[in-house]
Amino acid sequence: MTLTVEDSYKAGSADKTSLPEEMKVKEIPLESGQDSNGDIRPLDKHAFTFWSVFSLAFSCINSWVALVVSLSTILTAGGPTAVVYGFIYATICTMANVLSHGEMFAVFPTAGGQYHWAAMLSPPKARAAISWATGMSNVIGLWLGIAAAAYLCTNMVASIILVNNPDFILTPGKQYGIFIAMTMFAPLSALGVGSKANRRLDLGLMVLSIVGSVVIVVTLLAKASPRASGSFVFASITNETGWNSPVIAWLIGLLPSTYAFVGFDIVYHVSEELPNAKREGPKAANWTILFSGVSAWIIVVCILFAISDVGRVLGTGYGLPFAQICMDATNSKAATTIFILILLIVFSNATRGNTISAGRTLMAFARDGMLPYGSVFMTVKLGEPIYGIIISVVIALLVGLVQFGPAAAFNSLTGGSTIFFFISYTIPCACMLFGGRKRLNKLFPDRQHNLGKWGIICNLISIFFVIQSLVIYVFPAARPVTPDNMNYVIVFAAFFGVVLVALWHGYAKKRYHGPRVRLPTDQGDPIYEE
């Protein structure tokens, strides 16, 4: 039974009569937005199936592409072992994170995802602050994630141009123009073709990702001569970072592996449109990480074997080391262009995935009274929270203006997005570890996804992995540090951190009192029955 508007008033964490006047807006129940007239508009409960959610998540994170376009970092910091073994480590830790989330997902599937779970498991007095910080970290990560994915796609476009025209000069203006085009793929596809066509697009991009990767790997291994040795792939460690410690260099080389999984929370944000989400949602998230991890590891190991000359790959004039690998193996501009184009097409879906997630998260914010002009962000058209998508794209375009500054500043976007994603991922795990598990076990001992004694281990692994990654992400990637190679991640993190503190004390603290819907851990029963 769906929660009614009247129920949501009665069951919210703040009493309706105690809300400030500006907070007295019409409640919108779970599984709903509203139309342009302000009337409640239920979301399409059958917009997704297990397979469409899985294909959407897999095609949006595309872990193997994220690794391939980051080969420059991997080969200079840590070497092949940083990804061969580091990616296994990152996959295990990410799987622990997703399994931890699954225990909460199985109780409370909601478009709010992490911030609703943080509220569900937080002490009532701290609920508003903790859930607000979690939700805002999530949406900032998504905004930066849109820009980061569009920037990586921009690099692929530039590489295609350089393969075919080595004299091409990529000015900041040209780069930003390509960036705009890559960013606009998200709203144009999400809003321009309808829900059913979007699900077919998800499936098609997943198939292209799988088939395309097989074609690339088989071709490179067949054509590359000489191929890299097994000792190079499985045992070599390199350190061209300027750091005296090979351990620090190896950990820096691990960072692409951590970025390769960000954005998997799209499964959470579309869960209100998935039938039987309590069972199918956690399963889709688990399959996404497992399948992405195994396939990406196989693909990147094969591509490492296809390297003929590391020095030429790192000194490439084609922008991406992957382009040089393809040219060395095939000696064909056409084949190299096609292979990079496959990467570009499948990874462009990352901008769309982050945009879809951001729009639904903002819709959940608005339902809970976290945003001014909440009715705008709750408006659903063509099956999408249209204005949340639009504002997310606009913010990503504004962030993209950093391209007119030092190149290293925009290169740090992947680190900035990962930091905020990780914060939103780990707060619910920490809540689970410190009291939340006991409450869930008491209220929902028979929940469909229960880790039992392994739950604490998964929580601890998740938290350790996030803390370790956050520390390494603020390290300069090379020494000596100059304006051209400085790590600007700390600048992004500090800027948005200051903005969050100011927003909380200047606006949200007086207006946001926690989710307005009934939380399972307060009532002892699920929000709705499947």
Report the distance separating Cα 498 and Cα 140, nearest Å: 13
Token pair for 333: 């501009």
Kindly state the helix (H) or strand (E) to which residue 116 belongs, with its residue range.
helix 114-121
* Lowest mean per-residue pLDDT among 312-321, 400-409, 475-484: 475-484
Percentage of residues of the chain with pLDDT beyond 70: 89
Q: How far, in whole angstroms, is CA 491 from its chain's centroid?
A: 20
Question: Please, are residues 337 and 157 in contact by the beta-carbon 8 Å criterion?
Answer: no
Residue 33 has a pLDDT of 55
Instruction: Check whether 155 has a pLDDT greater than 90.
Output: yes
336-339, long-range: CB within 8 Å, 24+ apart, which pairs?
Answer: 336/163, 337/160, 337/163, 337/164, 339/216, 339/219
Higher-confidence position of 396 and 476 = 396
Instruction: Check whether 13 has a pLDDT greater than 60.
Output: no
Average pLDDT over the chain reads: 84
Residue 2 has a pLDDT of 38
Q: With bands split at pLDDT 50, 70 and 90, how would you rate the model's confidence at 435?
A: confident
Instruction: Check whether 45 has a pLDDT greater than 80.
Output: no
Average pLDDT rounded to a whole number, residues 223-239: 90
Q: With bands split at pLDDT 50, 70 and 90, how would you rate the model's confidence at 337?
A: very high
Instruction: Check whether 22 has a pLDDT greater than 80.
Output: no
Q: Which domains does the chain have, with CATH numbers?
A: 5-523 (1.20.1740.10)
Instruction: Check whether 117 has a pLDDT greater than 70.
Output: yes
Higher-confidence position of 140 and 273 = 140
* Lowest mean per-residue pLDDT among 254-258, 291-295, 333-337: 254-258
Spell out the residues 6+ positions from residue 421 whose beta carbon is closer than 8 angstroms to its own: 137, 138, 141, 142, 145, 262, 263, 265
Question: Please, are residues 1 and 528 in contact by the beta-carbon 8 Å criterion?
Answer: yes
Residue 514 has a pLDDT of 84
CA dihedral 174, 177, 181, 182 (to 10 degrees): 60
Residue 29 has a pLDDT of 53
Instruction: Check whether 120 has a pLDDT greater than 80.
Output: yes
Residue 48 has a pLDDT of 83
Residue 16 has a pLDDT of 39
Residue 1 has a pLDDT of 33
* Lowest mean per-residue pLDDT among 203-212, 312-321, 385-394, 476-485: 476-485
Q: Using H for helix, E for strand and C for coil, what is the string for 317-377?
A: CCCCHHHHHHHHHHCCHHHHHHHHHHHHHHHCHHHHHHHHHHHHHHHHHHHCCCCCCHHHH
Q: Using H for helix, E for strand and C for coil, what is the string for 173-242?
A: HHHHHHHHHHHHHHHHHHHHCCHHHHHHHHHHHHHHHHHHHHHHHHHHHHHCCCCCCHHHHHHCCCECCC
